[in-house]
Structure 1
Amino acid sequence: MGGSDFAGSSLAGGGGWAKVTGEVFWDPTAVRKNNIKDQKDEGKNMSTSEINLRQYNNIVAALEGENRRLMDSVKELEMVIDKMKQEKKIMKRRHRLEIRVRDGKELCIVMFVGAFAIGYVVAALITRGFI
């Protein structure tokens, strides 16, 4: 990069402070409505620990924002999962009802065939004189 060090810049994902050609300045992309000259002067007058503290605070603030976004995403996904669970319960109930109806119809057919077979056997026995 020709002597540029963006290790702490917002471009490198490290917060609002950047060190370019040995000069520490506050990255204007990280802060709105501030005078860049004031930011550079502020960066020159701050100690390394203050700069590190500001970087840390910026990182923490960014992580808190990301955490909120992730929690919102998790809540949305939990709602989708709950909705799918309810749909699954409804489908299971419908399936059980369909099976009961189908089993009832099959049972009626089996009973009808069985009654017909018994009637046929009884009729055959009567006509042949066994009963």
Structure 2
Amino acid sequence: MGIKVLAVDDSRTIRDMLALVLGEAGYTVQTAEDGQDALDRIDDFEPDAIISDINMPRLDGFGFVQAVRRVERYRATPILVLTTESAPELKARARAAGATGWIVKPFDAEKLVRALQAIAG
């Protein structure tokens, strides 16, 4: 089955692009439309890595990352933040919440796959 990636973004276009790019790279992808949707799906999917936007309704990326890190089985799961934001203070906040890395949108497919390979194999 390969490595499973949970991709969380409120933009259907971004979710579809992530599913396509990561699927072509051999990953099994589950998408979620915001942090709450992702938390509702995470235990059924049990991802090996997570990619999450920051600015989302219901539960934003910071809250989602913090919630994931509170669950024992996901404490070491790599989490890449994928967002239009690039401010250093937001990167620091994401790291403090438990994010593993940060990629700014629009993303380059090859760079995204390389970053995912670096953190999740």
Note whether the superposition's TM-score is higher than 0.5.
no
TM-score by length of structure 1 reads 0.23
Highest RCO, 1 vs 2 (Cα 8 Å, sep ≥ 6)? 2
Higher strand share: 2
Higher helix share: 1
Larger Rg: 1
TM-score by length of structure 2 reads 0.25
